[in-house]
Structure 1
């Protein structure tokens, strides 16, 4: 997921900030001298590794065509005491999407595909059902900026030990439905990037991994980088080795690389697409990938995207636009970010499940320090100013009472106490109004006492009504996005009322999956609940909205919303279909 607003769960949020040493203090800084940048980031990385129990991190900083720092911290292989270094290969996750977009643009330059024509032109086997007859077509362009309306994922076989080829999704999704109209709402889609990779294969006549090797990795001198179905890097969760599962959708997330190789890619960006004497991308393609594509779309709320790149989420005052992409897998996290106007960039790779927040913090601080060292533009850090808290108004109590879809699943909000109390992911929270009209989040210890928690402090929420939908907008720093939406019970079809109960997934999936699935009704809303053995205290809840007698969709707007749950006629055995999977009702 490409957003600092998608917070890790309570266990991470309650970590105590225990700094073991004072940060290095900058003396007089000579422009172009990165000594303080390196010293401060070294201190910061050590602090983040200790605080979040991160096993290994590698970092590289690029100033135009110069690699100004590269360093590894901790261990690539803790058991064998193999240190992390700049050449350590990590799972770079969704940084892969920037490369897949670049390959698409390269083929467009050659006239082999048109990013504004329907995807089916470049990929004739592609089709998906739709409930939006007036929608714009699904194109490579709106796939690259995550406004295609495609489902976020095709879950059947997505995370497994032995994945099939990613291009099998072309056939797999023909019975699925488009989640939203194209060009309507940001909905991050791994599936879309898998389909785009299949189009790269089709029009180039090469397998996707071979195409990337021949047309990007070799020309850029990225000798330790590959797209691979199976990961080769170790991964850790709080310094304990964890099993690494493969992700089927190679073009979306299966990039293996190190910080030195990704520095080569950033250098190419700063050289208008050139690497040595090779013109890997045309300068116009590089610029177009960095141009905001969705500024005039109806539900943007300041969450801007380019082609492959995210154009919001990191704010560097005085630095101009920031282009970035993170890579978040269940077992590891990464971040690559650049300041195009100043030709500076950073890449941070880790092998740890607990590094989600750290990679963004480190990358942001790196860009701020580099900008000051290179240009003298000083980054003044001012403590946040919070407007005074106040009691909820009668209108706020009315608006917030009920069920909301949120970034962490279905949230049940009650205002019976005169406060705005939230139950989500098995935990208790409170929304607190302030005099400036915004709301902040407090965590309720043991479900009773609301207290501020560090990672929540800078999240500010507001409500807006768009086309009759009550939307919660979340803001953290300069980044805004849809945080949730109030759900209106619309009546549950009789066929689903008869299908309430506990379910199991048909056929053994060789990978992480819920160990308990429940379909139930609550106050007129159809709700799905999932428990996971790996995270026993997590309860994932999803609300559904009916679209026909035999179909409902995951309610809400954006990523992982709009997916279809349907009743499958199969004799006497109740079956449900969801994202390529079949669910069978358990018999009591």
Structure 2
């Protein structure tokens, strides 16, 4: 869900061209006919694949217990001329989390797990340090809602060629800290889902992949689906084959499947948990997974989540709640979404780096068109009324001047020019206030000239104060979410100031790794800078807040925040420790 806003920002660096072929026009098909839906989606997929240089994509549409259309586009294997088809197997990415959550709910139906008891009751090996003595426990429920306070990731060994078993994170987390109090803020956690997978193994009595095969894939009729520790499908970046790495946290993202199989999961949802004669999940569990779990939390900002399902991010006016989950890996993207009230669903899988926006856009359009075809509910676009731009007030200039942690890393905001100028990820932007109190974003060409960019047109920002924190709220349509937070300079202990400089990772890295790691001081903030050779133009800056003489945490709210940076003395040298990595200071 937050990645949607993040990638909208990053996408400003790419301006997409239009498609010369006009969209098909509806010929007034009778109610219940999906003929126009198929025509329009075929046109849309072709356009998105051309504009985004997507190599292969497959789609399936589900109406209750029927797959009404499924088709492959492009190539599953470009080098060998193998066309994509509904049967093509893709990396489904984080759609895996829906199955892991379903496995937990199935064990709850059987009375083997209580999702509101501490996770350690089901997984006694689990423990983690905490700086929040009055906070409640980590539970299966708050893990499934990404409100557990667990770290988002344990980075060392996470994305490699030859991963360790995912259960290894249980031991690794014992020396880590909770990043937030449980039930405080949405913080997407792959580690949390790995722990749930370990709990499924412990309680279910079989290896996670075997359990999922026996309890879900086989009874649902999903013969081509599997959880696997290693990626075995091809992936592409602008039609060039790239190396595919594996994610250690198998229950979080290592699902291999096709649109035909995943349609069976949607059918089960629409049948109240049944698949043929078998009751896979109880109707109560199906309903609970679709119930908003975080409505009463002060940091929700209308960004809702169920158990496994995301309940914000795709809007279909008149369609009722939209439940969805995407799968975004560095090399491929996917989306599964449904309208539970109308028993309509869609699955889109793609094998390309550049498919992130396309799979979400195609899925949203599919639900819109299917709803119209099935019910006659037509969504006329509401007129867009833009409040006029205005000059920033003196209060706004004072508020925005400084450093902000954002979804694209640490951003430096300057108001010396009388405008709100932002430097982030190595690029320059301007926040422009409007008369309605919201702010829009302009990209500054060559760091000088502010211009409108299409990817920013739907984004509006505002400031909210919660628990004394100055929070930037991002709005896209009817969805709001935490975009960032203003950081205040803190006293940096001398022990950290002595460690300022360039660092290198100790030990061989079996996967992508940064080639530039710097710890520095910037206007009273302790800042880390990272560059990756795969994206040399992207500079990731991270603000750290010292919590003791030898520990600091990544500052800000949400995913990837609250992780601990440690000063360590081992092997007769001073090192930094972060998420399993050991860093050694480079000699000048």
Aligned to 1:482: 482
- Distance (Å, rounded) in 1 between the aligned partners of 2:541 and 2:229: 31
SS at match of 2:73: strand
Any residues of structure 2 matched to 1:65-214 within 5 Å, and which?
A: 65-214=65-214
Q: CA deviation at 1:385?
A: 2.2
Aligned to 1:441: 441
Matching of residue 358 in structure 1 with residue 366 in structure 2: no
- Distance (Å, rounded) in 2 between the aligned partners of 1:181 and 1:10: 30
Aligned to 1:562: 562
Aligned to 2:60: 60
- Distance (Å, rounded) in 1 between the aligned partners of 2:125 and 2:95: 27
Q: Deviations over 1:142-188 (max 9, x none)?
A: 00000000000000100000000000000011000000000000000
Aligned to 1:284: 284
Q: CA deviation at 1:455?
A: 1.0
Q: Deviations over 1:193-213 (max 9, x none)?
A: 000000000001100000000
- Distance (Å, rounded) in 2 between the aligned partners of 1:11 and 1:470: 26
- Distance (Å, rounded) in 1 between the aligned partners of 2:301 and 2:382: 25
- Distance (Å, rounded) in 1 between the aligned partners of 2:261 and 2:347: 10
Contact kept? 1:173, 1:580, Cα under 8 Å: no
Q: Deviations over 1:542-569 (max 9, x none)?
A: 0011111111000000000000001012
Aligned to 1:319: 319
Any residues of structure 2 matched to 1:484-499 within 5 Å, and which?
A: 484-499=484-499
Any residues of structure 2 matched to 1:158-307 within 5 Å, and which?
A: 158-307=158-307
- Distance (Å, rounded) in 1 between the aligned partners of 2:27 and 2:509: 57
SS at match of 2:269: helix
Contact kept? 2:12, 2:456, Cα under 8 Å: no
- Distance (Å, rounded) in 2 between the aligned partners of 1:406 and 1:135: 26
Q: CA deviation at 1:10?
A: 4.3
Contact kept? 1:95, 1:336, Cα under 8 Å: yes
- Distance (Å, rounded) in 2 between the aligned partners of 1:93 and 1:306: 19
Any residues of structure 2 matched to 1:309-388 within 5 Å, and which?
A: 309-388=309-388
Q: CA deviation at 1:28?
A: 1.3
Contact kept? 1:15, 1:51, Cα under 8 Å: no
Contact kept? 1:13, 1:454, Cα under 8 Å: no
Matching of residue 391 in structure 1 with residue 391 in structure 2: yes
SS at match of 2:39: helix
Q: CA deviation at 1:572?
A: 5.1
Any residues of structure 2 matched to 1:494-573 within 5 Å, and which?
A: 494-570=494-570, 573=573
Q: CA deviation at 1:7?
A: 1.5
Q: CA deviation at 1:27?
A: 2.0
SS at match of 1:7: helix
Q: CA deviation at 1:19?
A: 1.4
- Distance (Å, rounded) in 1 between the aligned partners of 2:415 and 2:398: 8
- Distance (Å, rounded) in 2 between the aligned partners of 1:233 and 1:570: 41
SS at match of 2:359: helix
Q: CA deviation at 1:17?
A: 3.0
Q: CA deviation at 1:103?
A: 0.1
Change (3 A) 1:258 1:330: same
- Distance (Å, rounded) in 2 between the aligned partners of 1:4 and 1:521: 31
Unmatched 5+ stretches in structure 1:
none
SS at match of 1:169: helix
Q: CA deviation at 1:14?
A: 2.7
SS at match of 2:92: strand
Contact kept? 1:8, 1:356, Cα under 8 Å: no
Change (3 A) 1:383 1:454: farther
- Distance (Å, rounded) in 2 between the aligned partners of 1:8 and 1:318: 25
Q: CA deviation at 1:3?
A: 4.2
Change (3 A) 1:8 1:514: farther
Where in structure 1 do 4 or more consecutive aligned residues deviate above 3 Å? 8-13
- Distance (Å, rounded) in 1 between the aligned partners of 2:533 and 2:505: 15
Q: Deviations over 1:355-408 (max 9, x none)?
A: 111111110000000000000000112453211111111111110000000000
Q: Deviations over 1:518-557 (max 9, x none)?
A: 0000111000000110101010000011111111000000
Q: CA deviation at 1:509?
A: 1.0
Change (3 A) 1:2 1:346: farther
Report the RMSD for the aligned CA atoms in angstroms: 1.0
Contact kept? 1:293, 1:305, Cα under 8 Å: yes
Q: Deviations over 1:242-300 (max 9, x none)?
A: 11000000000000000000000000000000000011111111000000111111210
SS at match of 1:188: coil
Greater mean deviation of Cα atoms: 572-581 or 197-206: 572-581
How many residue pairs get aligned? The number is 588
Q: Deviations over 1:304-354 (max 9, x none)?
A: 000000011111111000000000000011000010000000010000000
- Distance (Å, rounded) in 1 between the aligned partners of 2:379 and 2:263: 24
Unmatched 5+ stretches in structure 2:
none
- Distance (Å, rounded) in 2 between the aligned partners of 1:462 and 1:11: 21
Contact kept? 1:471, 1:486, Cα under 8 Å: yes
SS at match of 1:252: helix
SS at match of 2:7: coil
- Distance (Å, rounded) in 2 between the aligned partners of 1:381 and 1:341: 22
- Distance (Å, rounded) in 1 between the aligned partners of 2:326 and 2:499: 39
- Distance (Å, rounded) in 1 between the aligned partners of 2:16 and 2:432: 22
Contact kept? 1:326, 1:333, Cα under 8 Å: yes
Q: CA deviation at 1:8?
A: 5.2
Contact kept? 2:11, 2:455, Cα under 8 Å: no
- Distance (Å, rounded) in 2 between the aligned partners of 1:502 and 1:101: 41
- Distance (Å, rounded) in 2 between the aligned partners of 1:295 and 1:17: 39
Q: CA deviation at 1:6?
A: 2.0
